Structure 1
Amino acid sequence: MDKLLESETNKIEYKSLKKVFGNNSNLKDLAKTCVCMANAQGGYLIIGIEDKDKLPPSTQTIDQEELNKIIKTLRSFTDSVGLVNPEIKKHDNGGEYAIIQIYPSLKTIATTSDGRVYIRIGDECVPVKGEELTRLAHEKGAFQWELVTTRYTINDVPQENIIKFTDDIRNSDRVSDFIKDKENYEILEHFHLIDNGKLTNLGILWLGDYKQRGKLNYPLTIQYIVYNEYEEKIRKIEWNLNQYNPKELLLEIEKEAIELNYSFEIPNGLFRKQVRHYNKAVIRELLINAFAHKSYTISGDIFISVYKDRLEIKNPGGLPLGVTKDNILHQVHRRNPKLIDTFKALNLMESEGSGYDLIYEKLSLDGKRFPDIESDINYMKVTIYSNIVDEDVLQILDFLANHYQLTQKEIIALGVIIREKKISGFDLARILQLQDDERLRNWVSGLTNKNIVLTEGRTKGLMYMLNPKVISSMEHNLKPSLKTMEEHTLRALIKEDLKAHPKSKISEIHQRMDGLDIKYLRRVVYKMYEEGELEREGANKNMVYFLANKK
């Protein structure tokens, strides 16, 4: 079966044969769909597939001449829309369907024949008017900054920078052997760092020295600002001398931004768990996103602002047209595609389309709220929060992640369901930025099949909630473990206890481990003393134990 039929995305549109051929056809509406897709990222029009079934009727046939007429009519109903590669295919069930490719209109605005402009956002076709039309015209007319050649040749940049970049490429598990086996010069050409011997702007960003990077109109510059509880500036670092390539700059920020490494302790069963204020993987993904999606054609630094309760990352250039705070989890739009290709090849960012999936997953696992996103035509700002919404959510998710194999989608959905206690399908779909029930089922069906999540009601009254047996399992899992705990686990627990309460009697340790067999505890403590892990002083009932001071 054709891979295009496996799932619907914002680049695929299914149309029943009835809407294309015959008396009930509506080709003007179909032309509007073509305009939508052309103004976004292009895609495929699949004719003869019922959206709900993803299958053509087994007896369905399509005439090539009729298909050609349809394409001719669609071209007459549209302007600046590329309809290419029409093909009739046969499904495994015997039915036929047609695929028409729609090219993205890179430099012009696609319109219907009566002058209307539409764009595809998610799986909806929406009209473009007013300021949005101006923005679309600006984006279509913008040159691709990365590929503009400079006056510098390959011989003008430090050779060690070339070697460093090509070595990193060859050491990456995301790059094919076909690319790795190329000469250095060919690798640079492949990643568009050079063009006919001249360095591109992208090449200067990666390979140039600080003087050459400084001559870019708007190079990659960063301001890192820390605020106290009164939101007064208390620390500031600027990276504006252009001495680093993007990877070096990322590592330098991670090293110097010590406030981003803070964490707090929370109870975790018998031990305590360290939870970072800001997950390291989330910080990296947000920073790389700011680097990759910054507009390099307008002035402005990237701002990293650290407050008492939140982290804000703001970059020049708003969200691309078609991407909003309400669909960013599922939309893919590449403002600087060649720069993004280098980030992906060097393992600096998630593969295309999965960046915000990762952010939502990590925030769910840490019991944090999802990011707040603010965007204007000139900037985009993402805010994440340090506080845990509910420690119970963190404990439950931690337990489930350790006892079940959960997908990324399931973890994200589960985080919402546990946090809300009980949530309607409508609200869950809204939070997960899903457009219909079918897509929501893809996110939660695994959870209901595993009996982790229960449902109540039907259709519009459908509710999701955590199965109460999960909580019972958690309690059952923790309490018996005190009696049946393996020795190595008990040893670790004793060390943790004596670190917090040095010079304790065995009876005092036992009081803090309610439910543990005291004979078992005494036996392990004696053994740890004999092996030199613990020391003791006093005699008989006054004997106390403490950690050995190992040299």
Structure 2
Amino acid sequence: MDCEKQTTEYKSLLKIRTGDKGFKDLSVTCVALANAQGGRIFIGYDDKKKAPLPEQHVTPDEVNEAVTKLRSLCFNVGLVASEICTDDTGSQYFIVSVSPSMHSVATTSDGRIYIRVADKCEPVRSEDLQRLGEEKGAYQWELVRTKYLLDGVALDALRQLANDIRKSSRVRQHVKQMDDVELAENYHLVDEGYLTNLGVLWLGTAKQRSSICYPATVQYIVYDVLERKVRKEEWHDNRLNPKELLLDIEQKAVELTYSYEFPNGLFRKQIRHYHPKLVRELLVNALAHKSYTISSDIMIKVFSDRLEISNPGGLPLGITKDNILHAKHRRNPNMIELLSALEMMEGEGSGYDLIYELNAMEAKNPPMIESSYNEVTVIQNAEIIDTELLPLLDFVLQNYQLTQKAFTAFGIIAREKKVFSTRLSAILQLQEEDRLRSYTDKLLKDNIIGRNGAKKGTQFFVNPQLIKNAKVNLKTTLKTVEPYVLRTLIMEDLRAHPKSKISEIGGRLPEIDLQELRKMIYSMVDVELITEGARTDRRYALK
């Protein structure tokens, strides 16, 4: 079992069997989880061993009474208990799922407020209340009116911004027909003649931007192969509005324009370490989803093999690294609306769809996301997983009309060689496998991929005929062998290495998926194979 983390907590059954003290501790955990991302509490787990105690039993009445008691001890918290669960040893436990409190602040029955920070439940400090209110939608930093009038320099800046908006293909005609001041009011830059915080960011002077809590500041740091700092750029003077800041970063971040070179017939093909659209999307996301109530810089760190971009503020409520591809939430909706109107970002919540597609197009892994209460870091690796896939991906891109979803799925299948539907659903962050059809049906219809197996045993692979048509010289791999070939390989391996564990067989056949190998070996037991030893130390040999 995994250790405790942001969304997971383990509690002993004694918490619900020792009276009010245990329940008060549980209520604090429920409130803290609700005020953050939500989560699950495993009740019946030993906190040190992270497993149920031996011969532990739970009654349905205990589960129902625990949930009823917890609901009376915490307000604005959504709780639901699972059925009684049993582990491999027969010990019982149950899980309390806590939903994130999206539009209200969760409290204990005595009025205390807690927040989940990493694996701890911390009391909310006075300086955190504003941030918590902002996350719940009770406070919008963008709309706070400042003391600065819309005049002088601000009017000049507004004139330029209004012209840019009117040139955009995303802005409706009736909006383009507004005068400059009406446009400023439409995009919440001005309130009754005074600049809002958002208005100061876009239209204010450097001095005015410096006075609000807090403007966008950026550091760009380059490291060498040994991760020693070799170059640094800073944007702390607040001279630039968000659009100018973004363009200036792109101009000065020359390391993000480096490329790989590959032979392509008589010519050389260049592939950027980071696709320019991907860089733009990651940078603009950092600006748009930054928590402007935190005094901290957006950090852009460029290493020899990866790019790391961090912005102040954790992921918005309800968004996790496991659902970011499909869940939609706008922390700064008016900033996002304006950036979208200026065609600087994907406004309809499809930014990560584009990032996944671009990585699939270049045989790269999608970005990793690390989130804490104070910061979100996106890590994008520059490595191309398999350069031999690039001609195949180019062939499909040029000869088939695929949706963004279909091409993303194809890129993953090509990269993995052969992938179970459950694994593909997990990579694409799909909760229901039925939704996978929108990614794979077009690929199957056009014979771009093949499929075997059924339900959760379904496997997808690149159609060998497609590889032949593309005239791509891909290396032969054992990942795509037919079941009868895998059966023969296992028998040959055990003929040379009798009495082997599955892990040992897998070590000698590293290209075979361990799940597929295990499934095949289980089906061969009592037919071609015999077993020896207990479950945890079972060995296999030819019959």
Q: CA deviation at 1:272?
A: 2.1
Distance in 2, matches of 1:269 and 1:351, equals 40
The amino acid across from 1:459 in the alignment is K
C-alpha contact 1:193 1:204 (8 A) present in aligned 2? yes
Larger Rg, first or second structure (1 or 2): 1
The amino acid across from 1:149 in the alignment is R
**Equivalence for 1:225:** 221
TM-score by length of 2: 0.64
**Equivalence for 2:286:** 290
1:158 counterpart = 2:154 = yes
Secondary structure at the aligned position of 2:151 is classed as: helix
Distance in 1, matches of 2:389 and 2:329, equals 33
**Equivalence for 2:481:** none
The amino acid across from 1:401 in the alignment is L
1:303 counterpart = 2:299 = yes
Partner deviation per Cα, 1:381-438 (whole Å, 9 max, x = no partner): 0011112110122221111000100111111111110011001000010011001111
Distance in 1, matches of 2:351 and 2:36, equals 20
Secondary structure at the aligned position of 1:241 is classed as: coil
**Equivalence for 1:180:** 176
C-alpha contact 2:221 2:229 (8 A) present in aligned 1? yes
Distance in 2, matches of 1:457 and 1:448, equals 14
Distance in 2, matches of 1:268 and 1:464, equals 29
**Equivalence for 2:332:** 336
Distance in 1, matches of 2:450 and 2:123, equals 45
Summarize the Cα distance change of 1:181–1:40 in structure 2 as closer, same or farther, 3 Å threshold. Answer: farther
Q: Which one of 455, 464, 469 corresponds to residue 468 of structure 1?
A: 464
Secondary structure at the aligned position of 2:471 is classed as: helix
Show the 5 A alignment for 1:504-523: none
Partner deviation per Cα, 1:259-307 (whole Å, 9 max, x = no partner): 1111121123453211001110000000000000111001100011011
Show the 5 A alignment for 1:369-384: 369-384=365-380
**Equivalence for 1:52:** none
C-alpha contact 1:39 1:109 (8 A) present in aligned 2? yes
Q: CA deviation at 1:105?
A: 8.2
Moved over 3 A (4+): 38-41, 78-81, 104-107, 129-138
Summarize the Cα distance change of 1:159–1:395 in structure 2 as closer, same or farther, 3 Å threshold. Answer: same
**Equivalence for 1:169:** 165
5+ residue gaps, structure 2: 1-33, 38-73, 78-99, 114-118, 474-543
**Equivalence for 2:194:** 198
C-alpha contact 2:425 2:431 (8 A) present in aligned 1? yes
Partner deviation per Cα, 1:359-388 (whole Å, 9 max, x = no partner): 111111111111011000000000111121
1:412 counterpart = 2:408 = yes
Summarize the Cα distance change of 1:235–1:395 in structure 2 as closer, same or farther, 3 Å threshold. Answer: same
5+ residue gaps, structure 1: 1-37, 42-77, 82-103, 118-128, 478-551
Q: Which one of 285, 288, 312 corresponds to residue 316 of structure 1?
A: 312
Summarize the Cα distance change of 1:137–1:277 in structure 2 as closer, same or farther, 3 Å threshold. Answer: closer
Q: CA deviation at 1:158?
A: 3.5
Secondary structure at the aligned position of 1:155 is classed as: coil
Q: CA deviation at 1:185?
A: 0.6
C-alpha contact 1:393 1:415 (8 A) present in aligned 2? no
Distance in 2, matches of 1:462 and 1:366, equals 26
The amino acid across from 1:428 in the alignment is L
The amino acid across from 1:211 in the alignment is K
Summarize the Cα distance change of 1:382–1:456 in structure 2 as closer, same or farther, 3 Å threshold. Answer: same
**Equivalence for 1:9:** none
Partner deviation per Cα, 1:175-194 (whole Å, 9 max, x = no partner): 00110101111100000000
Secondary structure at the aligned position of 1:226 is classed as: strand
**Equivalence for 1:394:** 390
Show the 5 A alignment for 1:507-546: none
Summarize the Cα distance change of 1:310–1:79 in structure 2 as closer, same or farther, 3 Å threshold. Answer: closer
Q: CA deviation at 1:142?
A: 5.6
**Equivalence for 2:498:** none
Q: CA deviation at 1:108?
A: 2.2
Distance in 1, matches of 2:382 and 2:163, equals 37
Secondary structure at the aligned position of 1:364 is classed as: helix
Distance in 1, matches of 2:388 and 2:347, equals 32
Distance in 2, matches of 1:392 and 1:258, equals 27
CA RMSD of aligned residues (A): 3.2
Partner deviation per Cα, 1:101-152 (whole Å, 9 max, x = no partner): xxx98752489x9x9x9xxxxxxxxxxx984996995532762110000001
The amino acid across from 2:271 in the alignment is V
Q: Which one of 452, 455, 469 corresponds to residue 451 of structure 2?
A: 455
1:430 counterpart = 2:418 = no
C-alpha contact 1:264 1:276 (8 A) present in aligned 2? yes
Give the percent of matched residue pairs that are identical in Structure 1 and Structure 2.
52
**Equivalence for 1:69:** none
The amino acid across from 1:257 in the alignment is A
Q: CA deviation at 1:222?
A: 0.5
Distance in 1, matches of 2:472 and 2:287, equals 47
Show the 5 A alignment for 1:461-500: 461-475=457-471
Summarize the Cα distance change of 1:345–1:391 in structure 2 as closer, same or farther, 3 Å threshold. Answer: same
**Equivalence for 1:345:** 341
C-alpha contact 2:406 2:438 (8 A) present in aligned 1? no
